[in-house]
Amino acid sequence: MKRSLIRAALTGAVVGLSLLPSAAFAQRLTVADPKGDSHEIVQDPDTGAYSYPTVGSAPNSDFVRAVYRHTRSRIINRTTFMNLSHSGQGVIINAAIGTSTGLVRDAWVLKDPSKSGNRVAFHEPHGTPVPCSGMKRAIDWDANTVMVSVPRSCLGSPRWVTVSVSGGNYGDGTRRSYVDVIGTSTTHYHWSARIRRG
């Protein structure tokens, strides 16, 4: 999957920041997400402007919750969908990770509509790839979950992290594209509380 397709599917959809201040610190943090709050990504053919109408529980695009863990060696995100289907829709997850040092990186899991395509990517916020050896991912179709795991060394071994997860289906040009963001019913970034190393 080309980076331009990733941008078209999701990066353009997450259009703002709503950093949530919180005094809560934990090695493990669970964030719930409202059901039925996925949004279609619609681009006006004349102006190029995007709009994001709410469409309920769209295919592979309605989150239920995310569980974040900050272990001694890894940052792990496990996102649960309302209904994850191994179908022609595909799946994209982006875990934006902010750190105690100010570094921000995007950890992607990309599952295209084929039966075998499945990979990870690690980028700067505006799309420049960054080397990161040891990233892991797993998709559990029965449990409706997608997991991405990033070595702390790829993030400068921070004291704490904060995470914003967005994702949805992979609309390949013939299908509609949808997005959801963990912890909010909008399409804005929704940063978690700080998660300290356990």
For the segment 119-167, what is each residue's pLDDT rounded down to a tens digit?
999 999 988 999 999 999 999 999 999 999 999 999 999 999 999 999 9
Smallest CA-to-CA distance from 158 within 67, 77, 97 is with 97
Q: What does the pLDDT read at residue 180? A: 96
Region 16-45 average pLDDT: 75
Secondary structure of residue 83 in the 3-state scheme? coil
Mean of per-residue pLDDT scores for the chain: 86
Secondary structure of residue 146 in the 3-state scheme? strand
Query: For residue 168, which phi and psi values (nearest 5 degrees)?
Result: 170, -160
- What DSSP letter does each residue of 22-62 carry, written as one string? -----SEEEEE--TT-EEE-EE-TTT--EE--EEES-TT--
Q: What does the pLDDT read at residue 81? A: 96
Q: What does the pLDDT read at residue 142? A: 94
Q: What does the pLDDT read at residue 176? A: 87
Q: Could you tell me where the DSSP H helices lie in 17-175?
A: none
* Predicted model pTM: 0.85
pLDDT tens digits for 36-94? Answer: 999 999 989 999 999 999 999 998 999 999 999 999 999 999 999 999 988 778 899 99
Q: What does the pLDDT read at residue 170? A: 76
Tell me how many degrees the CA angle 114-118-182 measures, rounded to the nearest 5.
105
Q: Which CATH number does the domain housing residue 36 bear?
A: 2.60.40
Q: What does the pLDDT read at residue 173? A: 65
Residues ≥6 apart with Cβ < 8 Å to 47? none
Q: What does the pLDDT read at residue 183? A: 94
Whether residue 28 is predicted with pLDDT greater than 70 in this model: the reply is yes
Secondary structure of residue 5 in the 3-state scheme? helix
Give the number of domains in the chain.
1
Distances (CA, A) of 79 to 10, 37, 172, 175, 187: 16, 15, 22, 23, 17
Smallest CA-to-CA distance from 150 within 91, 73, 78 is with 73
The tokens describing 116, both together, are 């075998």
Query: For residue 49, which phi and psi values (nearest 5 degrees)?
Result: -70, 145
Residue 115 pLDDT level (bands cut at 50, 70, 90) = low
- The range of the structural domain enclosing residue 45 comes to 3-196
